Amino acid sequence: MNPPPHHLLRLTEDGSITLFSEQFQEACHSMAGAKAETILHYIQGCEVVKKLNAKESISILEVGFGLGVGFLTTYESLRPLGKKFSFLSLEIDRELLNWFMEQHQGHPVIEKLKWVSSDRLESHTDLVDLIILCGDARDKLPTYLKEHPQSFDAIYQDAFSPKKNPTLWTKQWFKLLHESAALDATLSTYSSSSSIRKSLMASGWSLSKGERFGPKRSSTRAQPFGETDPEILSQLERSPVDALCDDNLLETKRLSTL
Ligand SMILES: C[S@@+](CC[C@H](N)C(=O)[O-])C[C@H]1O[C@@H](n2cnc3c(N)ncnc32)[C@H](O)[C@@H]1O
């Protein structure tokens, strides 16, 4: 298998593959296991099997399609339930999406995946509506939601790290996600950094600690309403870092050009 342009293939410890992005200088998953991490943080972290068992259908949003591990693992986990779900994902790299489609030509959902416009891939089967918006998520998601208002039951926040991919971890980004979340939604992410926890709280999310995976000591789960875990609150009170905001990103950019 050849990697897509500007990426390197990496074998992770559970035998699944991830990609290292030369542009972002980061791998899409933990080297401790791409698939295992996806199951822990997203399938279990967002309780998608339980949610689909309890409802007629559910709606999932993924931030960062990458090499599709999130979608493929979700499909594998939800297919046995025989109920329909929708999966909306966001990806800026068109070449990566074209590579993904080439790799999974025999897959019942991916073989139907087609460009329906210059910035949107869609596949519709009895079990899933898969839609991938191609372009900067910060522009594409709000535009799409204006035309297709909906609320998400589960949100997989799986951008590259806040240091490498800061625009997808700001208070403004999390506010958009909060406005688009169902009342009982779960947002889950591998990150436990104080700055992103502050961004989440500043945009209305209530936080709890998620499982640890690989070398990371914790992760984060968020609900649109409710109480934040007191341990997280006291950790954030002690931490000197600020929430990530669009304004302080501009400030960082300005300073780095001086
Ligand atoms: C950590 S990887 C996602 C891994 C993926 N969930 C999977 O399971 O394979 C993050 C992805 O976000 C994409 N990305 C980065 N910035 C973006 C942006 N502003 N808008 C949309 N996608 C972006 C990257 O190209 C990369 O593929």
Tell me the pLDDT tens digit for each residue of 40-73: 999 999 999 999 999 999 999 999 999 999 999 9
Ligand 1 center from residue 21 Cα (angstroms): 10
| DSSP type of residue 256 | H
Q: Is the CB of 72 under 6 A from ligand 1?
A: no
Q: Which atom of ligand 1 is nearest to the CA of 160?
A: 1
For 242, residues 6+ apart whose C-beta sits below 8 A from its C-beta are 195, 198, 248
Rounded alpha-carbon distances, angstroms, from residue 214 to 167, 176, 218: 25, 30, 10
Tens of pLDDT, residue by residue over 211-241, are 999 999 999 999 999 999 999 999 999 999 9
Once rounded to an integer, what is the mean pLDDT over residues 7-17?
Answer: 98
Compute, in angstroms, the gap from residue 155 CA to the centroid of ligand 1: 14
Q: Is 36 in the pocket of ligand 1 (CB under 6 A)?
A: no
Which two tokens mark 144? 């799409």
Q: Is 158 in the pocket of ligand 1 (CB under 6 A)?
A: yes
Under a CB-based contact definition with an 8 Å cutoff, are residues 113 and 122 in contact?
yes
On the question of pLDDT at 13 being above 80, the answer is: yes
Atom 4 in ligand 1: which residue has the minimum CA distance?
A: 66
Does residue 165's CB lie within 6 angstroms of at least one atom of ligand 1? yes
Closest ligand 1 atom, residue 156 Cα: 6
Distance CA 127, CA 86 (A): 9
Round to whole Å and give the CA distance between 118 and 175: 27
Identify the band that residue 256 occupies on the pLDDT scale cut at 50, 70 and 90.
low
What pairs with residue 27 in β-bridges?
A: 20
> If residue 132 lies in a helix (H) or strand (E), which one and from where to where?
strand 128-134
Count of CA atoms in the C-beta half-sphere (13 A) of 170: 13
Listed in sequence order, the residues at least 6 apart from 45 whose beta carbon sits closer than 8 Å to its beta carbon are: 186, 188, 210, 211, 219, 221
Is the beta carbon of 210 within 6 A of some atom in ligand 1? no
DSSP-derived pairing of the beta strands 181-189 and 219-223: antiparallel
pLDDT value for 248 = 84
Cβ(136) – ligand 1 distance below 6 Å = yes
Q: Is 137 in the pocket of ligand 1 (CB under 6 A)?
A: yes
Ligand 1 pocket member 34 (CB < 6 A): no
Q: Which position has the token pair 């339930």? A: 81
Residues with Cβ within 8 Å of 244's Cβ and at least 6 positions away in sequence, in order, are 162, 166, 169, 170, 171, 195, 196, 198, 199
What pLDDT was estimated at residue 255? 59
- Check if the beta carbon of residue 27 is closer than 8 Å to that of residue 18: yes
